[in-house]
Amino acid sequence: MNRQIALIFIAILSLCVYSCARTEAGNSHDTRLADEQIRYDSGFGAFIEGSRTSVDFSDGGKVLWTTDDPIFVTNGSESKTLYVKEGGSTSSLLYGTGTPLTGDAFYAIYPALGASIASNVYSTAIPTIQPYVAGGFADQVFPMVAACGEDRQLAFKNVASMLRIVPAAGDFAGQTIMSVTVSANESMSGPIIVNYTPDQTPVVTCSGAKSVNLVAPAGIAFDTPIHVVVAPGSYTDLQVSLLLSNGLRTSYEAGSVEVDRSKYRTLSFSAVDRYVDLSASGTANCYMLKESGSYKFKADIKGNGVTTSCGLEASTAGIASAKVLYTDGDPFVQGTYSYSDGYLCFETVTGTLPIGTAIVAATDASDRILWSWLVWANRDIADVTLSDGTTWLNMNIGAHQVNFNPLGFNGYYYQWGRKDPMQQAKGVGNVLDAPFSSHASLTDGSLANSIANPLTFYGSYRISGVHIADWCTFDDDVKIYDWWNVNITGDGQISAEPGKTMFDPCPDGYHVPTYAELNNLYNLEKAPGPDFGALIDEKLYFPCTSYRSAGISAGAWNNGENSRGYYNCTNPKETGDRSNRMVYRFWVTPVGSVGVTDSQSSRSVALTVRCIKD
């Protein structure tokens, strides 16, 4: 019985490899089995203890070598690449060229490429990108080590593990799997170090990538076992992501998974949900789309759920339905948005994803808006990493393009502390288009009303003739510092670390930049942009976006040679009573100058937002 279990394990772990690809070195030996080469290594042999290249299922799951498998062998001072002389058995003579290796001990690594050995420490790698092979895994992706004395018999030990992934089609019937990505919080592929002597178990340490990508250009049918070679270890937050033939992605969260050396772990799941979860890695107030598909995101969490001094609960209860509040650009949604089991779901049009945006809301049974989000479809959204190591989005939130757009599609405007985007395009005759109306009153300008009316611009207001430089009506005693950064607890803090909150308008993984992050741009190389604006490090462009003014008319929108660009910052600045509630803002000029200031920007003024990566 134990023998049967062992044979079954070997069969599943190793599995058949029918790769038509050979290494260049292997091919060079296919037709050069000269007598002197065979005689050279006539006494050098290798055998496998529960490993790899192919399996003879007709003989109870016996593991076999494949002809010309390349093996790195050293005697401690000289090294050679030797090759399996003849496949089809669990043991084989090895052959090579030149002078034979001599010595009292020999050490070996399979595969030979990139291998090295020093003082019982073996260095090799598990490929981060692995080709799919039906029923098994590809040649030279499953490393082994061996050591022997003058008997010259190398007994190889496995130093890798395997994930056996078996996805069921569910709602994806008719689709095939084009690639599989496995990721976790720990390194699972790339360089590995193996400490090993024949009298001990190999100890494997991986210092490479935290993911493995298995590619299958011809596609993989659902319900087919898919084998991914990984380093042994304990993995947390392990996820399996499938790219389907229709361009959609679907993910499975496996949680904590442990895989031992020379063993496998089966992950079976059903791809029953055809909607890709945009909020799988974290919830936010903005979700980016770069390709067509079926999507969903969590609707019962406000923003990222991090509360501020406003005292608002992080969760949203009583959601009954979803609706669209505003769209611009090209229509990219097919049908409508729907609410189901805590998620807002939608499908895009097929083919190339159009460029556009939509503001969508979750509503209760009385059609009252409980929370709203910006869905931003633009296949050109990308990260830009600067010389100081910071990474930024290449365009403003909601923008249609990177470069200056004379029609105003350079990004939505945001009043400081609000999650809600205000109109980004210039209206006819400098009058803002409905429904982004301007409204100002002491009663209506509240946090609750701003959430229930996300398209309403709350301009500055007056109390007994005193101008209030704020969109939200609070008493003088109420101080607001942390709505976009939970780490800001006082007036004028310019050194606070980032701390994203439920009101931050940026997508997951990004945040509204702090004073320090924006001010540091001044220290980098600056030049005029391709149109009107500043180019940082010759690759990050900030167009001149002007602003939306704070007054009741609140209709200012300017472009051209004399307009500046203004960008939001997380840091507020109070210089006295409510008539001086200001915020820091980043500015750029048409000739490429940049800076950060707190002057002439009240909290009612709406500025564009450029997000920086967490």
Shared domain for 71 and 162, answered yes or no, is yes
What pLDDT does 476 receive?
57
Shared domain for 303 and 223, answered yes or no, is no
Please state, for a pLDDT cut of 70, what percent of the chain lies above it: 79
Mean pLDDT of 458-481: 70
What pLDDT does 350 receive?
83
3-state secondary structure of 428: helix
Q: How do residues 551-567 score in pLDDT, each as one tens digit?
A: 544 444 554 445 788 99
Domain assignment present for 455: no
Helix residue spans in 370-484 (DSSP H): 447-452
What pLDDT does 245 receive?
83
Shared domain for 48 and 126, answered yes or no, is yes
Judged against a pLDDT cut of 80, whether residue 129 lies above it is answered with yes
Domain assignment present for 504: no
Residue reference for tokens 């005029």: 528
Eight-class DSSP state of 460: -
Judged against a pLDDT cut of 80, whether residue 495 lies above it is answered with yes
Degrees to nearest 5, angle at CA 171 with 229 and 128: 20
Domain assignment present for 383: no
Shared domain for 292 and 209, answered yes or no, is no
What pLDDT does 55 receive?
39
> Where residue 508 falls among pLDDT bands split at 50, 70, 90?
very high
Residue reference for tokens 């020093």: 118
Q: How do residues 399-412 score in pLDDT, each as one tens digit?
A: 999 998 877 789 99
Mean pLDDT of 516-534: 93
End-to-end CA distance of the chain: 54
- Say how far apart CA 323 and CA 19 lie, in whole Å: 51
- Say how far apart CA 417 and CA 207 lie, in whole Å: 41
Question: Of 101, 117, 119, which Cα lies nearest the Cα of 109?
Answer: 117
- The CATH number given to whatever domain includes residue 310 is 2.60.40
Domain assignment present for 434: no
Q: How do residues 2-39 score in pLDDT, each as one tens digit?
A: 223 233 233 333 322 222 222 222 222 222 222 222 22
The domain containing residue 37 runs over which residues? 2-270
What pLDDT does 322 receive?
93
Shared domain for 19 and 109, answered yes or no, is yes
Domain assignment present for 409: no
Specify the pTM. 0.60
Domain assignment present for 334: yes
Q: How do residues 243-294 score in pLDDT, each as one tens digit?
A: 888 666 677 888 999 998 888 888 998 865 668 889 988 999 999 999 988 8
Torsion of the alpha carbons at 505, 508, 510 and 515, rounded to the nearest 10? 40
Shared domain for 182 and 77, answered yes or no, is yes
Final residue before a domain boundary, out of 270, 294, 313: 270
Q: How do residues 568-596 score in pLDDT, each as one tens digit?
A: 999 988 766 666 778 899 999 988 999 99
Final residue before a domain boundary, out of 335, 359, 377: 377
Shared domain for 249 and 357, answered yes or no, is no
Degrees to nearest 5, angle at CA 440 with 434 and 444: 100
Cβ(79)–Cβ(122) below 8 Å: no
Final residue before a domain boundary, out of 326, 352, 377: 377
**Please, what is the average pLDDT of the chain?**
81
Shared domain for 204 and 305, answered yes or no, is no
What pLDDT does 8 receive?
28
Please state, for a pLDDT cut of 90, what percent of the chain lies above it: 47
Shared domain for 244 and 331, answered yes or no, is no
Domain assignment present for 551: no
Shared domain for 111 and 241, answered yes or no, is yes
Give the chain's domain count.
2
Shared domain for 263 and 331, answered yes or no, is no
Domain assignment present for 603: no
- Say how far apart CA 110 and CA 415 lie, in whole Å: 61
Q: How far is CA 146 from CA 15, 71, 76, 158, 198, in A?
A: 21, 10, 13, 9, 8
Question: Of 485, 480, 537, 533, which Cα lies nearest the Cα of 511?
Answer: 485
Shared domain for 174 and 316, answered yes or no, is no
